[in-house]
């Protein structure tokens, strides 16, 4: 026989049109058979949520609370409802014929079975299935096998008993049984005449093989946990229109749809009523879950949602025992007093040491200032004529911060005069900071000399000096930062692609020559650079030349044409006459410039030990090439083409003249600058003339035969050129 039973549970919800929270009448029934009936559930209209019959439960004449045809055990605010559910069974005679059965089909509507339930089968050689009626895609079940009676202490693990989780969403469930006997039906029937299947809450059924296999009909029902929720929306979706009252919060239902409410921690009551959640007085409640843990109830002080234990004056609370104990006033006071006194003493000593250190640092900085020639610099600047008023004195701390403590990653380059760092000032201005390499007083003088020389120079092709710092053991110079490296890097280095065109190289040569001519002839006091080389010529983002590193430079008094000094310079660029005699004059810079010009023409280094023995020096290299009429072999392939051969030959002639052995045979820098400028003027004039003739011939309809080489151009002799270079006298 198959019995039908209705198995419903409410999971209902706010509709889209309902904006006002419903509340029950004051005279609603609040219990039935000792079971509390609380909103949103109710036993009569106006007492359950929104007059929705899905929350309507019945209190029958036997004082039993019925929901969906099943007796209710209890209803939890958190979304659980417990009901009694009958077990299903099938009994057989010794021949295996079915003689008695009760197979229940439960219609669940919007029910969700809680994960706290288990589907259980008790019996031998039996199969039980729990499935959706008409839809086998949602089903579960288990198989129990045994051909002899299991041991008394056997567990529900497939021998005489099996169980499985119930986690599928079911609108209705149906128990279906298949039973079979493998052998020895009589012996099995003796200890297992019936097979039982049922849903039960976890922990409510313990398998006993001796009792349950023989006769489980003494037990007719088990508690089952059902999940309920309000509506189909989550807390975020429902917002402030949820059913949750004051001092409560909304949380999403474990069912996956709808929501439930709960009181805040430290509050209790019905969270679905507007003002039911009230503060729990942990100091007076007898409920051990919410009771205080103060060892002395008199120290408990209730607060909204919590409590704390307060000890009287002179006592402190022990967090381990939550009891008050007397303060150890004597030792504590002595200990604290000793600590405070020691800290005050240490603070005083620290202040004195800090003040002494500041005095020592100030004295040391003043000592370094004098040691690094600060007095000499001030004296010379005041007597050397107009100076660069923009020169700033930087502090030691500002230099450390700008270079990140002189980190190695900030080094831009190193040379005989010192190390250059990349620095970033507080105003985010990027600068180059030169740290002088000092060893004796003569090098201090060279450092001061560089400051002095640069203070007299205000030229667009000279690296601008921004300031200096003399407070450090090693003095520092702060220059403008030139972004594109040195001419040496562009010609010979690996950091830049050596793609300088002839126009670039000619312009750089003109700018350097013009700068040296200005230093020799137009500065307020003539200046000899004394270390002209490609490594001391910087290029900015526009490839504009900037002459740098004046550490070896010398000012020439107006009444002298040359100075006798200790020989100083760079091998390969050093004037041989100056090297042999020690007599320094402007022709020494002319020789060095000639070497630079040869590097621009050839792309070769000033000294290269891979070249033949008699051509290791670039001057000898050029001399032998011109003597053997193979100049085209040493000119950089990126430079020479059929349109600039005359200009390159003229530039080569100028370079050779600049590097003659005796200074008297060399031209002056002013003359060199004029000749190079004349080359550029002639080049531009020639290009304009060609363009003019081409356009004229085009207008007259004359066919141009340049492809056959039939055009001609007017010759130009740079020696007879009358153009004169205007040497800039400053910005």
Using one digit for the tens of pLDDT, what is the confidence trace for 367-379? 888 777 777 777 7
Among the ranges given (264-278, 457-471, 525-539, 713-727), the one the predictor scored with the smallest mean pLDDT: 713-727
Residue 497: active-site member: no
Q: Could you tell me the domains of the chain? A: 2-79+230-278 (no CATH), 82-227 (2.60.120), 280-340 (2.10.25.10), 370-480 (3.30.200.20), 496-708 (1.10.510.10)
| Whether 486 contacts 534, CB under 8 Å | yes
pLDDT band for position 387 (50/70/90)?
very low
Residue 200 or 67, more confident: 200
What DSSP line would sit under 527-588, residue for residue? EE-S---GGGEEE-TT--EEE---TT-EEPPTT-S-EE----S-TTTS-HHHHHH-EE-HHH
* Helix/strand/coil for 432: strand
The residue among 118 and 493 whose pLDDT is bigger is: 118
609 has a pLDDT exceeding 60:
yes
Quickly state the pLDDT bin for 722 (edges 50, 70, 90): very low
> Residue 728: how many CA atoms within 13 Å on its side-chain side?
15
Mean pLDDT of the chain: 78
Residue 588's alpha-carbon distances to 166, 356, 671, in angstroms, are 101, 52, 15
Nearest-CA neighbor of 611 among 584, 644, 633, 642? 633
| Alpha carbon distance 243, 245 (integer Å) | 6
Quote the pLDDT of residue 181.
53
Q: Which tokens sit at 407? A: 């980190």
Which residues, other chains included, contact 288 with Cβ-Cβ below 8 Å and sequence gap of 6+? Answer: none
Give the DSSP letter string of 417-431. TEEEEEEE-TT--EE
Contacts for 352 with CB less than 8 Å, ≥ 6 apart: none
* pTM reported for the whole predicted model: 0.47
pLDDT tens for each residue of 32-85: 999 999 999 999 888 888 756 778 889 999 999 988 778 999 999 988 889 998
Q: What is the pLDDT of residue 573?
A: 93
Residue 552's nearest CA partner among 474, 454, 639, 661 is 454
Contact between 118 and 161 (Cβ < 8 Å): no
Higher pLDDT, 353 or 190: 353
Tell me the per-residue pLDDT of 238-260, one tens digit each, with 9 for 90 and over: 998 889 999 999 999 888 888 99
Q: Look at the alpha carbons of 202, 114, 140, 180 in this order and tell me if their dihedral is positive or negative.
A: positive
Residue from 52, 489, 531, 575 carrying the catalytic annotation? 531
Task: Write the pLDDT tens digit of every residue in 640-666.
Answer: 887 888 899 999 999 999 999 998 999
Listed range (373-377, 470-474, 583-587) with the worst mean pLDDT: 373-377
Confidence of residue 107 (pLDDT cuts 50, 70, 90): low
- Between CA 448 and CA 455, with CA 453 as vertex, the angle to 5 degrees is 95
Longest Cα–Cα distance of the chain, Å, equals: 142
Cα–Cα dist 648/683, whole Å: 11
**pLDDT(165) > 70:** yes
Closest CA to 656 of 605, 720, 598, 574: 598
Token representation of residue 664 = 């008297």
pLDDT, position 446:
67
Judge whether residue 8 has pLDDT over 70.
Answer: no
Residue 13 carries which DSSP code? -
| pLDDT at 376 (0 to 100) | 75
d(CA 487, CA 538): 6
295: how many CB neighbours lie within 10 A of its CB?
A: 14
């Amino acid at each position: 026989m198959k019995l039908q039973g209705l198995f419903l549970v409410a999971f209902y919800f706010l509709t889209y049109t309902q904006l006002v929270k419903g509340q029950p009448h004051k005279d609603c029934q609040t219990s039935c058979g000792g079971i509390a009936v609380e909103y949103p559930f109710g036993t009569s209209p106006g007492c359950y949520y929104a007059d929705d019959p899905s929350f309507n439960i019945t209190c029958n004449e036997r004082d039993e609370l019925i929901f969906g045809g099943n007796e209710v055990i209890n209803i939890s605010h958190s979304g659980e409802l417990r009901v009694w559910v009958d077990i299903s069974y099938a009994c057989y005679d010794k021949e295996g014929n079915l003689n008695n059965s009760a197979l229940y089909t439960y219609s669940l509507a919007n029910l969700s079975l809680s994960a706290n339930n288990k589907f259980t089968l008790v019996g031998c050689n039996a199969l039980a299935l729990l499935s959706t009626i008409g839809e086998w895609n949602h089903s579960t079940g288990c198989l129990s096998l045994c051909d002899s009676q299991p041991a008394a202490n056997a567990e529900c693990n497939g021998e005489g008993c099996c169980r499985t989780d119930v986690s599928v969403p079911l609108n209705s469930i149906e128990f279906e049984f298949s039973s079979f006997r493998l052998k020895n039906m009589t012996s099995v029937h003796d200890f297992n005449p019936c097979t039982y299947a049922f849903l039960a809450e976890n922990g409510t059924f313990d398998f006993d093989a001796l009792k349950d296999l023989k006769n489980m009909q003494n037990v007719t029902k088990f508690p089952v946990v059902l999940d309920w929720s309000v509506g189909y929306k989550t807390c975020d979706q429902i917002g402030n229109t949820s059913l949750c009252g004051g001092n409560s919060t909304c949380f999403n239902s474990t069912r996956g749809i709808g929501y439930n409410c709960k009181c805040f921690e430290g509050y209790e009551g019905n969270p679905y009523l507007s003002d039911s959640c009230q503060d729990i007085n942990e100091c007076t409640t007898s409920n051990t879950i919410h009771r205080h843990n103060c060892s002395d109830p008199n120290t408990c002080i209730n607060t909204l949602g919590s409590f704390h234990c307060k000890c009287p004056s002179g006592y402190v609370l022990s967090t381990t025992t939550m009891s008050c104990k007397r303060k150890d006033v004597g030792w504590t006071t002595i200990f604290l007093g000793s600590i405070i006194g020691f800290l005050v003493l240490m603070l005083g000593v620290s202040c004195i040491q800090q003040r002494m250190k500041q005095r020592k640092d100030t004295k040391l900085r003043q000592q370094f200032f004098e040691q690094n020639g600060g007095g000499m610099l001030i004296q010379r600047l005041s007597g050397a004529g107009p100076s660069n008023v923009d020169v700033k004195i930087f502090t030691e701390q500002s230099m450390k911060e700008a270079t990140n403590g002189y980190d190695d990653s900030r080094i831009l380059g190193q040379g005989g005069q010192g190390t250059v760092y990349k620095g970033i000032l507080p105003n985010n201005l990027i600068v180059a900071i030169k740290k002088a390499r000092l060893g004796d007083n003569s090098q201090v003088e060279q450092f001061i000399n560089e400051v002095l020389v640069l203070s007299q120079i205000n030229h667009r092709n000279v690296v601008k000096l921004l300031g200096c710092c003399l407070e450090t053991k090693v003095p520092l110079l702060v220059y403008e930062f030139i972004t594109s490296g040195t001419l040496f890097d562009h010609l010979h280095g690996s950091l830049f692609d050596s793609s300088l065109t002839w126009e670039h190289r000619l312009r750089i040569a003109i700018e350097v020559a013009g700068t040296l001519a200005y230093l020799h002839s137009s500065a307020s006091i003539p200046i000899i650079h004394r270390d002209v080389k490609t490594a001391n010529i910087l290029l900015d983002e526009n490839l504009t030349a900037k002459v740098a590193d004046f550490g070896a430079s010398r000012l020439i008094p107006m009444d002298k044409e040359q100075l006798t000094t200790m020989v100083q310079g760079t091998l390969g660029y050093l004037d041989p006459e100056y090297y042999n005699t020690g007599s320094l004059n402007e022709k020494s810079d002319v020789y060095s410039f000639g070497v630079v010009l040869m590097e621009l023409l050839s792309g070769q280094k000033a000294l290269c030990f891979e070249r033949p023995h008699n051509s290791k020096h670039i001057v000898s290299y050029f001399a032998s090439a011109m003597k053997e009429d193979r100049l085209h072999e040493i000119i950089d392939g990126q430079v020479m083409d059929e349109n600039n051969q005359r200009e390159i030959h003229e530039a080569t002639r100028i370079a050779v003249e600049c590097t003659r052995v005796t200074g008297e045979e060399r031209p002056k820098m002013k003359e060199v600058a004029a000749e190079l400028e004349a080359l550029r003027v002639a080049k531009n004039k020639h290009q304009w003339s060609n363009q003019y003739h081409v356009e004229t011939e085009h207008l007259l309809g004359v066919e141009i035969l340049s492809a056959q080489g039939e055009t001609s151009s007017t010759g130009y002799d740079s020696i007879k050129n009358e153009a004169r270079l205007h040497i800039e006298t400053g910005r």
